[in-house]
Amino acid sequence: MIEMRSPSQIEQMRPAGRFVAEVLTHLSKVVDVGTNLLEIDEIAHDMIRRRGAESCYIDYHPSFGASPFGKVICTSVNDAVLHGLPHDYDLADGDLLTLDFAVAVDGWVSDSALSFVVGTPRPEDLRLIEVTGQALDAGIDAARPGNRIGDIAHAIGSVARGAGLGINLQFGGHGVGRTMHGDPHIPNDGTPGRGFKLQPGLVIAIEPWFLHTTDEIYTDPDGWTLRSADGSRGAHMEHTVAITEDGPLVLTARD
């Protein structure tokens, strides 16, 4: 079921978005070569406790998960692109890291992800991150009343295809509200003019993710982390966006 939020409910969703942005901004500044993935989880968990927020991940136990996630943030490194389970690993020079973070504040969820390189970047990694960010921007720009889900999907997919990247449609964006994953599903490629018609009050996470040289993934033995089939690196950028009369409002915007 697709739920619509009133303008006052969208106002109530702002603190969660601001807090998610604050945590990701902080982590992107302090995480560096040598930082352990478990340390990143601890920092995020500490910030959640101090804010009185509620993690959407720690008890998350979907049908495909072997057990509850148990951590508060996803840390996906290099060939890992989605759902990276934090583990005892010190980041190395040039690692491409994706942080994906979702919490509820005052009962409203926000969800956001970003990719960056620690230490000395490889040019192709910067390019992948840049293109993924451009796809996110294009998707957000299409999130306007009167457009349809297919217009967002097509905007994202066009950027990826233009950059010669493959697109995996197994995981994509989703409705956001009282819980992390609601309807509608927002695929990362699609047909313009098709699908649910966007209207003010729809709140969605838009989340393009791409791999350098494949569109296939497999699940790591940890039961969660999704890795590229060919070992190539991935990037993932996500914002929670409210569709308003005035256009898209990015609730998780970072300064």
Q: By C-beta, is 74 or 200 nearer to Mg ion? A: 74
CB of 238 to Mg ion, least distance (A): 5
Residue 100 binding Mg ion, by CB under 5 A:
yes
DSSP 11-65: HHHHHHHHHHHHHHHHHHHH--TT-BHHHHHHHHHHHHHHHT-EESSTT---TT-
Neighbours of 32 (CB within 10 A): 10
Q: Where in 102-141 is the site for Mg ion (CB under 5 A)?
A: 111, 113
- Taking the complex as a whole, the smallest distance from the CB of residue 10 to Mg ion amounts, in Å, to 19
Closer to Mg ion by CB, 200 or 203: give it.
Answer: 203
Segment contacting Mg ion (CB under 5 A): 8-16, 60-68, 100-108, 215-223? Answer: 100-108
Smallest gap from Cβ 56 to Mg ion, in A, equals 9
Minimum CB distance to Mg ion smaller for 6 or for 25:
25
| Tokens encoding 134 | 């451009």
Among residues 132 and 200, whose Cβ is nearest to Mg ion?
Answer: 132
* Cβ-contact 181, 175 below 8 angstroms: yes
**Closest residue to Mg ion: CB criterion:** 111
Closest distance to Mg ion from the beta carbon of 34 (Å): 26
Please, what is the minimum distance in Å from the beta carbon of residue 102 to Mg ion?
A: 5
Please give the Cα distance from 4 to 13 (Å, whole number). Answer: 13
| Rounded Cα distance, 10 and 3, in Å | 12
Specify whether the CB–CB gap between 88 and 37 falls below 8 A: yes
- Cβ–Cβ under 8 Å, residues 211 and 234: yes
CB of 146: closest distance to Mg ion in angstroms? Answer: 26
Among residues 136 and 200, whose Cβ is nearest to Mg ion?
136
Return the axis-axis angle of helices 7-30 and 37-51, rounded to nearest 10°: 140
Binding positions for Mg ion, 226-255, rule CB under 5 A: 238
Q: Which two tokens stand for residue 199?
A: 């209207």
Q: What number of chain residues touch Mg ion (CB under 5 A)? A: 4
Give me the residues that bind Mg ion (CB under 5 A), please.
100, 111, 113, 238
